[in-house]
Structure 1
């Protein structure tokens, strides 16, 4: 079976605070031009997307420098529901490295926060602690999430995501830095994770954007019935 786990790209869709707005609008029309084309304006991290190491690692690999086969994943679903707003996910909530088989290369974390897409509450998603990201690194697995990312998201405006600072806003990108620093994948803003099997294949092929730090993807799960 196949299932689309990606968000539609459309005008006005939610974006990470401070990222460019998304617009998708007609450029040519059948009525005026005899054919149809559209203009898409978007950031590289809009909707369901993958991060390249260059996103937070200076001099890291860009999205087009990674072999295309690295975006076909043997995934394991980890259910973290129910979790509270901005609740940390520690290493003890992840599978022990010794319990993971050698083919696995992505943990898909189901937080339930996909239900808040399109609302301000979506920013208040649970997040990985730096120690949890270190466990992923030790296991050689990346992460996929039904949220803006593995680090906390600012409540408004721009700014880095990361552990909370004294004023309550995120400070730094610890989970991103650990994972991307080890060239491990991060797939963000997944949806449709309800009732997926524990093990499945996930395909998340990016656009071949020269020198880019990430790319929207069409994320598709495949499994045997």
Structure 2
């Protein structure tokens, strides 16, 4: 069974305050309709590239696609402001971990605040060989953060980032993940179509 964990893209989707609003327009060329999309690379379900927050970091097209494909685990961290190592303890972790917080379920309203990983959690994930962390909120850092410490800690640990997953209907456990970004040269992120099997 395939579970689509992608937030639908449409005119109601909330974006970061001040960021590019999502729009989709069509033009008729005779018998053919051609669509055009305007959006930020960080709208809806997306992957961050290190160059989004790290001067000299690589772009999204340079990240190996295998980072976003393969065994993953969904864990719950509901009702907490900080997500520490205890969230991930108790079983061996695969290279990809997704965190279900249910802190952002109305995708038409941008959240004022979100739960975040602690630096101790990042260190624990790195020690377990995790290469990708996914969250069901728009950022792994505090919404108002300027220095983005968790983004930087994850990058230093070699852990890539997925944000704004829709995990509302997903039971914690092990799955196969496919969440491929577009191959956008020089881009600081990309929308993904994320699914679990």
Fold similarity call, TM over 0.5: yes
Aligned length: 196
Q: For the Cα contact (< 8 Å) 2:76–2:172, is it kept in 1? A: no
1:126 alignment partner in structure 2: 115
2:61 alignment partner in structure 1: 64
Counterpart of 2:39 (choices 12, 31, 42) is 42
Check if 1:93 corresponds to 2:87: yes
Distance of 1:177 and 1:8 partners within structure 2: 28
The gaps in structure 1 that reach 5 residues or longer are 155-169
Q: Residue 69 of structure 1: SS of its match in structure 2? A: helix
Q: Residue 86 of structure 2: SS of its match in structure 1? A: helix
Distance of 1:200 and 1:216 partners within structure 2: 21
1:206-225 equivalences under 5 Å are 206-222=181-197
2:140 alignment partner in structure 1: 150
1:193, distance to aligned residue in structure 2 (A): 4.0
Whichever of the two has the greater Rg, that structure is 1
1:79 alignment partner in structure 2: 76
Distance of 1:151 and 1:114 partners within structure 2: 14
1:111, distance to aligned residue in structure 2 (A): 0.3
Q: What is the Cα-based RMSD across aligned positions, in Å?
A: 1.9
Distance of 1:60 and 1:116 partners within structure 2: 32
Once structures 1 and 2 are overlaid, which stretch shifts more, 194-203 or 43-52?
194-203
The gaps in structure 2 that reach 5 residues or longer are none
2:16 alignment partner in structure 1: 16
1:197, distance to aligned residue in structure 2 (A): 4.7
For normalisation by structure 2, the TM-score amounts to 0.90
Q: Post-superposition, which runs of at least 4 consecutive aligned residues in structure 1 deviate over 4 A? A: none
For normalisation by structure 1, the TM-score amounts to 0.79
Distance of 2:39 and 2:116 partners within structure 1: 25
Q: Residue 133 of structure 1: SS of its match in structure 2? A: helix
